[in-house]
């Protein structure tokens, strides 16, 4: 099972949009503390349907959330998205399809 639970803060305002197939999706990034490291772990979140619409209307950058969902991996290699920070250190971001979300503050 690919279920994950996390708590973190939105890194930017969410962006919601209606897809051509009629589904609504809200996308945002959550930064979660990474014990033992000063850099947080980044998660790209997708919230679908009416919960996604609620997120698009109610969430703002800096808002703290708790969510549960399924991890999505890169279909080519099974890994999270890998990138390089401006200071040349490696980083990664995980993709999550959220099924449950709570606004914490």
CA distance 12 to 29: 7
pLDDT digits (tens, 9 = 90+) for 22-48: 999 999 999 998 888 777 888 999 999
CA distance 77 to 100: 27
Per-position DSSP letters for 27-69, written without gaps between them: EEEEEE--TTSSSPEEEEEEEEHHHHHHHHHH--TT-EEEEEE
Residue 1 pLDDT greater than 70, yes or no: no
CA distance 87 to 71: 27
Q: What does pTM read for this prediction?
A: 0.84
Q: Domain map of the chain by residue range?
A: 3-103
Does the domain at 3-103 match CATH 3.30.70.20? Answer given as no
């Amino acid at each position: 099972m690919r279920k994950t639970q996390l708590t973190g803060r939105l890194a930017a305002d969410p962006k919601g949009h209606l897809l051509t197939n009629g589904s609504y999706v809200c996308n945002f990034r959550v930064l979660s503390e990474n014990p033992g490291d000063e850099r947080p772990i980044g998660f790209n979140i997708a919230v679908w349907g009416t919960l996604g619409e609620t997120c698009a209307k109610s969430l703002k950058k800096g808002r703290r959330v708790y969510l549960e969902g399924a991890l999505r991996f890169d279909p080519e290699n099974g890994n999270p998205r890998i990138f390089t920070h401006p200071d040349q250190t490696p980083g990664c971001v995980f993709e999550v399809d959220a099924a449950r979300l709570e606004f914490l503050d």
